[in-house]
């Protein structure tokens, strides 16, 4: 049986998503490219791995067996990589970090300071939202993740290292800027420029409004905090963002934080990894660095 690691990787992506399209997205391949790899794998094995029923695909018995073995191979390779990273030590290892979109506003500063201290380290940073971080943790992809509240339903080892206050923002000349302790109900008919579903910020804001029985009307949806700030500044609506995203806009007085009852919504930043994951020396050093020194490098705007 002649099969390649690449074919196994493609097969595992199709099998875990039960979708050729989704697997192609995850692997950054074309869908015909994915189908081709699966066809080659099936012909090397001599058995079909998937069956098509209507629009859905399912694993055949051979597919299920193969999935178990492909996971075993992938764990072995991960383990081999961990062991090799350990041998390289802190000075020349690799570090793969995934962070929530909002955390990218300060993570780059942390990585800069860390890589100055450990010059030989190669760092890769993936910036994505909460839902996607959850998937990555499930697949045990990153060494470490920085996000708001750790995800439910996955066992992780997490520690908190900093506050993450969410504030309501308006253009600097907005009539509510001078008002004190504005009741939340005042915003019942307001349409907010919001982050996408799946963002931690969006979820926390929705929960905060629900807790006060105030309807939260969402207007335009955006996947970037930068875009939200620009939209608010342009008068497209009010926004709610982490204070970490605001340093420049507050300094230049282009945006103002409104003094709203029950605000800021208090969240915290966590650094975490899958439970039982063996951290490489570089990953351990980075985690320790974040827990002990993050506050030195990140100032919250006043």
Which residues form the interface with ligand PGA (CB under 6 A)?
100-102, 129-130, 147-148, 164, 195, 199-201, 267
Looking at beta carbons only, is 38 or 100 nearer to ligand PGA?
100
Q: How far is the CB of 147 from ligand PGA (least distance, A)?
A: 5
Looking at beta carbons only, is 147 or 285 nearer to ligand PGA?
147
Beta strand 238-242 with 217-222: parallel, antiparallel or unpaired?
unpaired
Torsion from C-alpha of 94, 98, 104, 106, nearest 10 degrees: -60
Chain position whose Cβ is nearest to ligand PGA: 200
Looking at beta carbons only, is 93 or 200 nearer to ligand PGA?
200
Q: How far is the CB of 130 from ligand PGA (least distance, A)?
A: 4
Count Cβ atoms below 10 Å from residue 34 Cβ, excluding itself.
Answer: 23
Q: How far is the CB of 62 from ligand PGA (least distance, A)?
A: 39
* Residue listed under structure tokens 């869908």: 31
Q: How far is the CB of 148 from ligand PGA (least distance, A)?
A: 2
> For the chain, where are the E strands, in sequence order?
50-53, 56-59, 94-100, 122-128, 144-147, 156-171, 191-195, 217-222, 238-242, 255-257, 265-274
Looking at beta carbons only, is 21 or 223 nearer to ligand PGA?
223
Q: Using alpha carbons only, what angle is made at residue 30 by residues 28 and 34, rounded to the nearest 5 degrees?
A: 95
Looking at beta carbons only, is 199 or 280 nearer to ligand PGA?
199
Cα–Cα dist 103/129, whole Å = 10
Residue of 127, 129, 97, 149 whose CA lies nearest to 285: 97
Looking at beta carbons only, is 198 or 281 nearer to ligand PGA?
198
Cα–Cα dist 266/258, whole Å = 15
Q: How far is the CB of 291 from ligand PGA (least distance, A)?
A: 18
Looking at beta carbons only, is 10 or 100 nearer to ligand PGA?
100
Q: What are phi and psi of 49, to 5 degrees?
A: -100, -25
Q: How far is the CB of 222 from ligand PGA (least distance, A)?
A: 11
Q: Which burial class, exposed, middle or buried, applies to 230 when counting CB atoms under 10 A from its CB (0-12, 13-18, 19+)?
A: middle
Q: How far is the CB of 232 from ligand PGA (least distance, A)?
A: 16
Give Cβ neighbours of residue 21 (< 8 Å, ≥ 6 apart): 31
């Amino acid at each position: 049986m002649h099969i390649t690691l690449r074919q196994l990787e493609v097969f595992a992506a199709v099998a875990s998503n039960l979708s050729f399209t989704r697997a192609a997205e995850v692997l950054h391949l074309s869908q015909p490219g994915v189908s081709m790899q699966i066809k080659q794998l099936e012909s090397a094995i001599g058995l079909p791995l998937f069956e098509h029923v209507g629009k859905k695909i399912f694993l055949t018995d051979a597919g299920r067996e193969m999935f178990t073995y492909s996971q075993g191979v992938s764990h072995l390779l991960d383990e081999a990589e961990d062991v090799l990273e350990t041998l390289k030590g802190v000075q020349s290892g690799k570090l793969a970090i995934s962070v929530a979109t909002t955390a990218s506003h300060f993570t780059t500063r942390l990585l800069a300071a860390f890589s100055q201290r450990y010059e030989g380290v190669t760092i890769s940073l993936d910036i994505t939202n909460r839902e996607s971080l959850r998937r990555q943790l499930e697949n045990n992809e990153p060494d470490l993740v920085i996000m708001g509240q750790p995800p439910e339903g996955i066992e992780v080892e997490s520690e908190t290292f900093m506050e993450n206050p969410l504030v309501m923002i308006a253009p600097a000349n907005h009539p509510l800027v001078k008002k004190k302790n504005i009741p939340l109900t005042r915003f019942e008919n307001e349409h907010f420029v919001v982050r996408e579903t799946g963002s931690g910020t969006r979820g926390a804001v929705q929960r905060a409004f629900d807790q006060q029985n105030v309807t939260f009307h969402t207007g335009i949806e955006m996947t970037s905090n930068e875009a939200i700030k620009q939209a608010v500044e342009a008068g497209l609506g009010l926004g709610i963002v982490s204070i970490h995203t605001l340093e420049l806009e507050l300094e230049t007085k282009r945006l103002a934080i409104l003094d709203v009852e029950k605000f800021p919504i208090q969240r915290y930043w966590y650094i975490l990894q899958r439970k039982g994951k063996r951290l490489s020396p570089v990953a351990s050093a980075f985690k320790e660095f974040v827990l002990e020194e993050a506050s030195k490098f990140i100032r919250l705007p006043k």
